[in-house]
Homo-oligomer: A and B are copies of this chain.
């Protein structure tokens, strides 16, 4: 028996008992002829005391170094009052060792576990050591608590955990697939799934009624910050439930995992906001509602002024002129305003006009701004509309709506953080009534905002005869928390004719549709139940819950941003024979084997 208790669970309740603990040497100190060892395991640290009463035992303890693995038998003993450590669960006791066994030695480790300055490259190369750090232990434990909590919640609601294939066919998400060459079917490839979308819909058609899976998804995306080639999704699908019922179900799930995972209690209904409102007030479909500032439209007041920078977008149906009031922003320096101007230029904004409100009562004289001279007659009404008060600053965006939304939307969050305007720790919100389609301007055709199996808020008749399909709404919903899209879902089309109408609007030919997802379209013919579903991005969700900056910090063995594993050195070079077996060769000569 290598253990009677975890190190971190040996407390004063065990005083006087003999225990056996096993773990890693976290620290060793010699003090007054006695050796003290902090022994560490998954549950925490405990102090081991080795007295010089037995020469052999003491000699073993003297040889012990950091990260050695020991088994210690000893008696739980109260510490003397002056050495009690109230911050440790085991801080009132120590284990007086009667026997020590070195189970494994350790070479000096390449970095100290409590060193916070280690580069991510080193951490990922020695991931097995990095994972010993308290913060990584916490991250992985919380991730596990969250998935366990999700499973139990869904089990209790009658959902069945079911597996779908990993070696499969391209799915319609639109990102690039990872391909897997087949030795049995030469010149053909499996694709790794971007999601189980089609399979979970098939499971509904098979009558399983309520499905869930915590499953790996794959996207061979161009490298962007904080994406992983493989990521994990909680995926659900249900038959015979409405949009509102699915949202209620998943809101309950979100509340449960926050409560059980990180002890956060949401004792209110999550607000629901339309996509149109989100864009109008926050410039974005995943608003961070911890920050109260809002974008306010002022175009109607500025259409007839001479100042073209404002008047032109104010008159443009695709344009937008919006104001963003920064409470007590009047203290901002010229330098700070310049920096924000540079910041919004990332989003294509050509400038960042502002008004400092020094003294409202003094009228236009009480304002400080390079632009008020262009609309002296309108400025007070604008300030009234945004609710400006003395000491505030008001920023303006005027351009194509897309640019204004992105620029002011991002500025709003940045200022919110910079000026400490985050007013609550957690701000969940449902965003609903998404548009069904969007115009792909490059290709001048409609694309599906969610995916082409999403049900529009319209009948088949209305879809076919719609005069402005880009205004059609979808039965789609996203859950957003603190500006992060935690999950999204939709009601699916369960009618062959409606599906055909949507494909027609999307310009997808029957032939194309059949080649890509003919099996789903076939299945639709044989009695398809109304069904709907949702997926939560697990990595991002856990990252949000424990307030980490990167999803790599909540994945045990992540890839780097260049989609490589520093630990295993994957991807790697393969033998020529393996390629021959697959009937493949490189177009260019292979890089030399290093």
A→B interface (CB under 8 Å)? 1-3, 6, 22-25, 40-42, 67-69, 71, 103-107, 109, 127-129, 131-132, 136-137, 140-141, 143-144, 147-148, 151, 155, 160-170, 176-192, 198-199, 202-203, 205-210, 216, 218, 220, 223, 229-230, 232, 239-242, 494-495, 519, 523, 525-530, 555-557, 559, 562-565, 567-574, 578, 580-588, 590-591
Given B136, B163, B203, B582, which contacts A555 in the complex, CB threshold below 8 Å?
A: B163
Q: Are B562 and A166 in contact (CB under 8 A)?
A: no
11 contacts between A and B (CB under 8 A): A22-B529, A67-B526, A69-B527, A104-B494, A104-B528, A109-B526, A127-B202, A132-B207, A144-B160, A179-B180, A188-B572
Q: Are A187 and B2 in contact (CB under 8 A)?
A: no
Most chain B beta carbons < 10 A, residue from A105, A127, A206, A530: A206
| Complex Cα–Cα for A34 and B495 (A) | 29
Q: Are A557 and B164 in contact (CB under 8 A)?
A: yes
Q: Are B183 and A519 in contact (CB under 8 A)?
A: no
17 extra A-B contacts, CB within 8 A, seeds A104-B530, A216-B216:
A2-B240, A23-B207, A42-B210, A68-B527, A69-B529, A104-B494, A106-B525, A107-B525, A137-B208, A141-B160, A148-B155, A169-B571, A184-B564, A188-B574, A584-B585, A584-B587, A585-B585
Q: Are A103 and B529 in contact (CB under 8 A)?
A: yes
Q: Are A2 and B131 in contact (CB under 8 A)?
A: no
Q: A128: shortest Cβ distance to chain B, in Å?
A: 5
Q: Are A106 and B583 in contact (CB under 8 A)?
A: no
Q: A439: shortest Cβ distance to chain B, in Å?
A: 25
Q: A445: shortest Cβ distance to chain B, in Å?
A: 19
Q: Are A240 and B3 in contact (CB under 8 A)?
A: yes
**Nearest B residue to A107 by beta-carbon distance?**
B525
Q: Are B590 and A2 in contact (CB under 8 A)?
A: no
Q: Are B526 and A190 in contact (CB under 8 A)?
A: no
Q: Are B104 and A137 in contact (CB under 8 A)?
A: no
Q: Which residues of B contact A582 (CB under 8 A)?
A: 179
Q: Are B184 and A223 in contact (CB under 8 A)?
A: yes
| Complex Cα–Cα for A344 and B374 (A) | 100
Q: Are B527 and A240 in contact (CB under 8 A)?
A: no
Given B181, B190, B570, which contacts A167 in the complex, CB threshold below 8 Å?
A: B570
Q: Which residues of B contact A162 (CB under 8 A)?
A: 140, 143-144, 556
Q: Are A229 and B104 in contact (CB under 8 A)?
A: no
Given B129, B147, B242, which contacts A2 in the complex, CB threshold below 8 Å?
A: B242
| Complex Cα–Cα for A586 and B586 (A) | 9
Q: Are A128 and B202 in contact (CB under 8 A)?
A: yes
| Complex Cα–Cα for A132 and B590 (A) | 50
Q: Which residues of B contact A203 (CB under 8 A)?
A: 128, 131, 556
| Complex Cα–Cα for A131 and B203 (A) | 8
Q: Are A166 and B218 in contact (CB under 8 A)?
A: yes
Q: Are A571 and B188 in contact (CB under 8 A)?
A: yes
Q: Which residues of B contact A529 (CB under 8 A)?
A: 22, 24, 69, 103-104
Given B147, B190, B527, which contacts A104 in the complex, CB threshold below 8 Å?
A: B527
The answer to whether residues A526 and B129 also contact, given A166-B230, A183-B220, A203-B556 and a CB cut-off of 8 A, is: yes
Most chain B beta carbons < 10 A, residue from A129, A151, A180, A530: A180
- Of all A-B residue pairs in the complex, the 4 with the closest CB atoms, nearest first, are A106-B527, A131-B206, A188-B571, A67-B527
Q: Which residues of B contact A143 (CB under 8 A)?
A: 162
Most chain B beta carbons < 10 A, residue from A216, A218, A232, A567: A567
Q: Which residues of B contact A136 (CB under 8 A)?
A: 206
| Complex Cα–Cα for A297 and B20 (A) | 48
Q: A514: shortest Cβ distance to chain B, in Å?
A: 11
